[in-house]
Amino acid sequence: MKVCLLSREYPPETGWGGIGTYTYNLAHGLAELGHEVDVISMSTDCEKEYLDGGVHIHRVLPRIINPLLKRPIRYVSPYAFFCTTMVRLGWSWAAFRKVREISMLRRIDVVEAPEHGADGFFFSLFKTAPLIIRLHTPSLLHRRLNELPDSLDFRLLDIFEKLAVKRADVLTSPSRSMAELISPDWGLVKIEVIPNPIDERIFFPSSEAGGDGRTVLYVGRLEKRKGVDVLVEAFWRVVEEFPSARLLLVGSDTRIDDGKHSSFVDYLRTKLGDAGESVKFVGRVDREELVGYYQRSEICVIPSVVFENFPYTCLEAMACGKPVVASDCGGIREMIEDGVNGLLVPPGDVVALSEALIRLLTDRSLSLEMGRRARERVERLYSRKAVVGKILEVYRGAKG
């Protein structure tokens, strides 16, 4: 089958975000099964094409849409008031033109794009193959869940995202929670639930049994919506019960504007007080280096206080054979079987989070058993081969 994936994000040039990681794993999973894959992604400098392990990569730059650039009113341009939407549409237009260029050289059987940012909008208007759109997290939902400011610019982008979704031949979602959350807003009826894939050969348990018996690992941006402040407060209680425990925070710092602190890390250091000696701020690390952090840890924690669709940090930890203590929200509850391969706690509950961490730190046999079951679940349900097989079934059904 000949598949074309549209995604502004594709690592490493545009990072290992959720959409980029999904696209990378899907593309390489399809290529390993013998399918021909083109990925159209954004370039940060110039347009170029190259092969990435059997996957054809096309890096394109957003195009200014000339009719939209013209000023309908003197001194007024849509780009001045709707910058985000216009840039996104410029990327969507560039992606569509590249699909058309490729299809003139060779057949394309199916096209997939994320809903976020309306990547597939222009292709949805001029479809030359079935269009599959995956619900990662619509902009509307992202702003609502994170209490972000609204604007006419973002509302306009919402419209284009919805229009693209409505014109898709098939909709997929990594979790039932996401499908149920967005369906009422957009009037969606049928959504295929297929989890995100992970390369379990890159993220795998170390040859040594378990971790070091005392390290709790957090991976992700350091910000309030991720519940890192809740984790820090809970860790006070953990250290009181388990003095040798230590917490590693791996991820990028974020800015805050409370008049007292320069960044979220600065805020957390103030909050830690005497417990600060047991906490290490690692910062952002490369993907290859990240595997080692998972392998050396005893427990991984995802303390998010807002909805999570299907976080790759959870998949990565499970693939490395680690039990995960996580907030019982969104798609996380579909990944973790409470008491089997991890523990679920109410979001924002400091006491419940600390008790779950203490339980696993003080019962190493339970921690090891949960980690083993986590790895088994990944191999059975979330490996590249298992997930890509399900996605291919959707592609074949759309193609007819």
**pLDDT reported for residue 208:** 67
Is residue 173 predicted with pLDDT exceeding 90? yes
Domain chopping of the chain, boundaries: 2-197+383-399, 215-382
Is residue 326 predicted with pLDDT exceeding 60? yes
pLDDT in tens, 197-251: 999 999 999 876 567 889 999 999 999 999 999 999 999 899 999 999 999 999 9
b/e per residue 225-258 (b: at least 16 CB within 10 A)? bbbbbbbbbbbbbbbeebeebbbbbbbebbebee
Q: Counting Cβ atoms within 10 Å, is residue 67 exposed (0-12), middle (13-18) or buried (19+)?
A: exposed
45-49, 152-156, 268-272, 326-330: which has the minimum mean pLDDT? 268-272
- Dihedral pair phi/psi, residue 112, rounded to 5°: -125, 145
Confidence of residue 63 (pLDDT cuts 50, 70, 90): confident
Nearest 10 degrees: Cα torsion 83, 88, 89, 93: 140
- CATH classification code of 215-382: 3.40.50.2000
What's the average model confidence in pLDDT over 17-41? 97
Question: Which pair of structure tokens corresponds to residue 117?
Answer: 């940012």
> pLDDT over 70 for what percent of the chain?
94
2-6, 69-73, 208-212, 383-387: which has the minimum mean pLDDT? 69-73
Question: Which pair of structure tokens corresponds to residue 390?
Answer: 């399900």
> pLDDT over 90 for what percent of the chain?
80
pTM: 0.92
| Nearest in space to 198 (alpha carbons), one of 395, 375, 67 | 375
pLDDT in tens, 68-87: 444 444 444 555 568 889 88
**pLDDT reported for residue 67:** 47
**pLDDT reported for residue 15:** 82
* Residues 175, 205: Cα–Cα separation, whole Å: 25
Helix (H) or strand (E) holding 268: helix 264-272
CA 318 → CA 27, 28, 200, 201, distances in Å?
22, 21, 10, 13
CA 223 → CA 170, 255, 307, distances in Å?
34, 8, 14
Is residue 90 predicted with pLDDT exceeding 60? yes
Is residue 357 predicted with pLDDT exceeding 60? yes
What's the average model confidence in pLDDT over 293-305? 96
- CATH classification code of 2-197+383-399: 3.40.50.2000
Measured distance between the N- and C-terminal CA atoms of the chain, rounded to whole angstroms: 12
Same fold, 2-197+383-399 and 215-382: yes
**pLDDT reported for residue 69:** 46
